[in-house]
Amino acid sequence: MRIFSRLLACFCLLFGAAIAMAEYPDRSIRLIVPWPAGGGSDATARIVAKALQSRLGQPVVVENKPGAAGNIGTQLVAKADADGYTLLYSSGPFSVNPSLFRTLPFDTERDFAPVGQIGSTPSVIVVHPDFAARTLQDFIGVSRSAVKPTVYVSPGNGSAQHLAMELLRKKAQLELTHIPYKGAAPALTDLLGGQVPAMISGLPEVLPYIRAGRIRALAVTSAARSSLIPDVPTLLELGLAESGTAGWSGIHVRAGTPQVVVTRLSRELQSVLRDPAINEVLRARGTDVHVTTPEQFGQFVGDQIVRWRGAVAISGAKVD
């Protein structure tokens, strides 16, 4: 009788999983982007959302919920139902913020389940053409000799860009003042307008303006030069970084989401990223595509949390 009960329970679980797979999704899905519209993260999210929508047969609606270095949108997903209908576009700050902020309104490692990585993007240090620096060495010289600290802007506190610049500040002993923005788009607007002299950004946001000569690229943070701007050196080759760094993006759901739903989402995301047309669009924008399982992505994010914990400690950066 006990064996029969166990077999019946297993059958019910398998039957329930099959029903869930057949029914999911039966309504629209929200993809929460914790950054403003118009930036690189937003653009990538919309490319992926449109492709996922075609494969899932239901609308995948991008909702921008910026603020607090990505924590506002992330908290929204942490409090959503664990049913796979609210997805998080996660990125670098997701792995940085646990070390950067004294407290968070969620537990990064317990409240979310990984679906899969989308890709990685190098960051690039850029300046307005009127700024008196044509190379990073020039930038260092100007910053050291300036009467006031040189201002630089970033997409926000806790971004991979912010941390990379803080590590450079400490390594090169620079006098810099950081102004965080709520995303790359508004920061770039002020840089293009000459309101601020320098910025560190993900490559996709600034690539068109570098090519048009409207801003000048001084260095990239990745381990190797970008094929899209091959004349721009890396911090590593300039001896101004201990290792290469890059921003990343992916998709998480709330912890407790049925495994069958996570598996479906992961499978469709992998198919999207393997699509040659989608892959080429993302690569042309400066994103190196990564196709991963939930387990691989979870390991990657865990490693990033550990890595950035050390970087935050070295940089001394903190946000109250």
* End-to-end Cα distance, the chain: 59
| Position 6, amino acid | R
Q: Is the same domain home to 161 and 15?
A: no
Q: What is the pLDDT of residue 246?
A: 83
Strand extents, DSSP E, the chain: 29-33, 60-64, 86-91, 112-121, 123-127, 150-154, 176-180, 198-202, 216-220, 247-254, 288-289
Q: What is the pLDDT confidence band of residue 265, given thresholds at 50, 70 and 90?
A: very high
Residue 170's alpha-carbon distances to 196, 234, 313, 315, in angstroms, are: 21, 17, 12, 7
Confidence grade of residue 17 (pLDDT, cut at 50, 70, 90): very low
Let me know whether 255 and 108 are in one domain.
yes
178's tokens: 């950081």
DSSP assigned state of 149: P
- In this structure, the answer to whether residues 181 and 135 fall within a common structural domain is yes
Is residue 160 included in any domain, yes or no?
A: yes
Confidence of residue 6 (pLDDT cuts 50, 70, 90): low
Integer Cα distance of 266 and 254 in angstroms: 14
pLDDT range class, residue 22, cuts 50, 70, 90: low
pLDDT tens sequence across 34-65:
998 988 899 999 999 999 999 999 999 999 99
Task: Specify whether 20 is located in the same domain as 104.
Answer: yes
Tokens of 276: 């040659």
- 207-242 residue pLDDT tens: 999 999 999 999 999 989 998 999 999 999 999 987
Structural domain boundaries enclosing 13 = 2-121+247-315
Position 148 in a domain = yes
**Domain harbouring 163, CATH code:** 3.40.190.10
Is the same domain home to 90 and 114? Answer: yes
Q: Is residue 242 part of a domain?
A: no
| Number of domains the chain is built from | 2
Tokens 């450079």 locate to: 168
Q: Which pair of tokens denotes residue 41? A: 């993260």
Same domain, 116 and 40: yes
| Cα gap 250→229, rounded to integer Å | 24
Tell me the C-alpha distance between 215 and 128, whole Å.
Answer: 5
**For the segment 97-139, what is each residue's pLDDT rounded down to a tens digit?**
999 898 999 999 999 999 999 999 999 999 999 999 999 999 9
Q: Are residues 75 and 176 in the same domain?
A: no
Largest pairwise CA distance in the chain: 84
Residue 130: Cβ within 10 Å count? 8
- Asked if residue 302 and residue 191 are part of one domain, the reply reads no
14 confidence band (pLDDT: 50, 70, 90):
very low
Residues 54 and 164 in one domain: no
Contact indicator for 32, 72 with CB cutoff of 8 Å = no
- Does residue 78 contact residue 72 with C-beta atoms inside 8 Å? no
pLDDT at 79 over 60: yes
- Contact yes or no for 195/207 (Cβ under 8 A): no
Least confident interval from 22-26, 140-144, 276-280 = 22-26
Local structure of residue 145 (DSSP, 8 states): H
Q: What percent of the chain has pLDDT over 90?
A: 71
Decide if 214 is inside a domain: yes
Give the pLDDT confidence of 160-193 residue by residue, as tens digits. Answer: 888 889 889 989 999 999 999 888 889 999 999 9
Residue 239 lies in a domain: no
